[in-house]
Structure 1
Amino acid sequence: MGTRRDFLGKMSLTALSLPILYSPTSLFAACEQPYDGPMLRVAIMGLGSYGTRVAKAMVDCKRAKLVGVISGTPSKILKWQATYDIPQKNCYNYDDFDAIKDNPDIDAVYIITPNALHCEQAIRVAKAGKHVICEKPMAINAEEAERMVNACKDAKVKLLVGYRMHFEPKTVEVIRMRQAGEFGQPKFFQGQSGFVMGNPNQWRLDKELSGGGAMMDIGIYSINGARYMLGEEPIWITAQETKTDPVKFKEGIDETITFQMGFPSGAVASCLSTYAMNHLDRFYMTGEKGWVEMRPSTGYGPIKGRTHKGELLQPHITHQTLQMDGMAQLIFEDVQPLVPVDGEEGLRDMKIIDAIYKAVKTGGKVDL
């Protein structure tokens, strides 16, 4: 999963041709400083609870603005028009949104619909010539994710994925510390991601819409967290599934999966993804020189964390505000976060999810 950072200070002439990285030390500057530059004009597709959260967060953005909506529910469109002063010409439904191609007032579409709809919707948005921001997981499998990546490349538009944690201040500081060698060689990561799923009739428990269960919703946080906390890509996966309520969690909807990942350096990760247990939002990583624990680690905030050097004290800023301002800066200025938020990043996670489901099914180790 915002406001964003200043450019790294004095760049060498050879570095000027490279993408600029956010400076963690000036992560919050965009929140405080006046901004007079291009505004990323965004239409949100999918006006449910998370779309509403993003819209509310964007009110505080300096570089991004909500200007349009796409929904299959006319009453929601009317409500959002009144709440966010959205003109009728920027309102679409799922059948006619291809017409955004002829709307110069929309730069990007943020897709916040059920997982199984992401692929085709993203391809349509790309063909309309608009940048694509897609909520995670970006698709229901790696094959679909790859189609999305290729479609956006062909259309010469950006494909970004809603990794709000890549902009979250304490998370960014931990990544900076790891990159600076302050933990030494990372050795072990533990990720616990879960909560008790309530309403049994929601789309997340419908395989045709969700593509899976807890792994496709909350488990992806431990997958992505392991990668950015350890700074490596896994080379093997093992996984085991536990299901205590087959009525609620039908075939194809995972309730609880524990999974393990191995990395080239020898580091290992042990993770839990579940819809059956509360109070599970914790990351822990230990290295040769130090350690970090974050709890809560991926909730909407405030994130809390401590390392061998003490408590993490970076301020809480609404994640989606930081994310959307950061994506605007990425699109307009090529200012890159420390960990990517592009389609290739999302595709890597989808390949791992595919491997986890394969490992559950086969009972063996899956090489990546």
Structure 2
Amino acid sequence: MNKSRRQFIQRLTFSTAAIPLLSSWVSPAAHNIIAQDTSGSQKVLRVALMGLGGYAERVAEAMQHCKRASIAGLISGTPAKLEKWGEKYKVPESSRHNYENFDAIKDNPNIDAIYVITPNALHHNHVIRAAQAGKHVICEKPLAISAKEGQEMVDACAKAGVKLLVGYRMRFEPNTLEVVKLRQAGAFGRLKFFQGQCGFVAGDPAQWRLNKELAGGGSLMDIGIYAINGARYMLGEDPIWVAAQETKTDPVKFKEGVDETIQFELGFPSGAVASCLSSYNISHLDRFFLSGEKGFAEMWPSTGYGPIKGRTHQGDLGKPHTIHQTTQMDEMAAIIFDNKTPILPIDGLTGVQDLQIIEAIYKSCSSGRRETIKLA
């Protein structure tokens, strides 16, 4: 990584491609949290966290509750963070690295996987290097800033014989999975419609999320991907076309290539449609709604850190709140060590497909036409 990019990362007040804490979200500490147990082998996944920003802090704290995952390494461009985090999480100096020398992890037998939590544009380089070091890789969403880069990352991990997983935490969330199970059981009948609303007001105009070079786009790459994901797993099929329109009210803050608000409609093979909204300038958007011939499901909040709340035509879902990142890391350990098949896929291919949908949405915004979606 060049010096200017490293210096940029060092200036970050928070990092990663995970969405920031919305004002409406409540800290898990304020609720009765039930840790989700896992079955099978109890081999612990030893993880090196790469990118010690805001979301990494949330992941690190959540991992203190894990049964099958632990922090075994740290990677950052800020020496002070490496020292502070190293002392806090008891990571020895030999397992602390910067962005230039972390390839040496290949010689560290005490690290099984690297969790890449850096700005979107850096994922490609970091994931490929992690794979070449012989470590399994967990990468925050979006997987990359283009489907081409994402596929190169998938190929690199396959070549190295390591697993590539994407940090889609909602795909392990109990209320979300309950709706999926009900859908699979036919509780909603033939599905007709899905609505996904995802948005918040982006703050600091100097943050990397509003820098196209580092973010690869705007709200769609960050928060809109939740609506795309939701449409896919709530309806249980993949879209074949999209019609989209961008609205930009602040071209100074949201420069060329950084979308402020995008409305998009997805069409599916069954005839079902999805109406979605992604925004960096509208608050209180965190809602999923699914409608079928026999019933409905509503989740609100639907993708925040919790507690997720949901109901159907049969009543409240009522599933216990879990720390999303705790559950995610324990489940990922089972996927890596036990070859467990998750209810909803979180592999690299799924990440590439989301990027292909994103690219089709951007294309439709530009062309003003309905665009065909072809997934890998």
Query: Are the structure 2 counterparts of residues 336 and 178 from structure 1 closer, same or farther at C-alpha, using a change threshold of 3 Å?
Result: same
Structure 2 residue runs without a partner (length 5+): 1-17, 19-33
Q: Which amino acid aligns with 2:81?
A: K
Separation (CA, whole Å) in 2 of partners of 1:101 and 1:210: 28
**Residue number among 193, 202, 212 corresponding to 2:217 in the alignment:** 212
1:81 equivalent in structure 2: 86
Deviation for aligned residue 1:337 = 1.6
1:257 equivalent in structure 2: 262
Superposed, 1:249-328 pairs within 5 Å as 249-328=254-333
1:125 equivalent in structure 2: 130
SS at match of 2:201: coil
Separation (CA, whole Å) in 2 of partners of 1:76 and 1:65: 18
SS at match of 1:248: coil
Separation (CA, whole Å) in 2 of partners of 1:337 and 1:184: 24
Superposed, 1:123-272 pairs within 5 Å as 123-272=128-277
1:23 equivalent in structure 2: none
User: Scaled by the length of structure 1, what TM-score is found?
Assistant: 0.91
1:62-114, Cα deviation, whole Å (9 max, x unpaired) = 01101110000001111101111111111100000111111100000000000
Q: Which amino acid aligns with 1:316?
A: H
2:29 equivalent in structure 1: none
8 A Cα contact 2:248 2:254, kept in partner: yes
**Percentage of matched positions with identical amino acids:** 63
Alpha-carbon RMSD across the aligned residues, in angstroms, is 1.3
1:134-171, Cα deviation, whole Å (9 max, x unpaired) = 00001001011000110011111000000000110100
Separation (CA, whole Å) in 1 of partners of 2:185 and 2:351: 25
Q: Which amino acid aligns with 1:129?
A: G
1:194-243, Cα deviation, whole Å (9 max, x unpaired) = 00111111000000000000001100000000000000000001100000
SS at match of 2:186: coil
Q: Which amino acid aligns with 1:139?
A: A
Structure 1 residue runs without a partner (length 5+): 2-26
**Residue number among 55, 59, 81 corresponding to 2:60 in the alignment:** 55
2:46 equivalent in structure 1: 41
Separation (CA, whole Å) in 1 of partners of 2:277 and 2:169: 20
Deviation for aligned residue 1:29 = 5.6
User: Scaled by the length of structure 2, what TM-score is found?
Assistant: 0.89
Separation (CA, whole Å) in 2 of partners of 1:310 and 1:223: 26
SS at match of 1:277: strand
Q: Which amino acid aligns with 1:318?
A: I
Aligned residues, how many?
A: 341
Deviation for aligned residue 1:37 = 2.0
Deviation for aligned residue 1:262 = 0.2
1:16-41, Cα deviation, whole Å (9 max, x unpaired) = xxxxxxxxxxx96617x8x8721100
Q: Which amino acid aligns with 1:94?
A: Y
SS at match of 1:279: strand
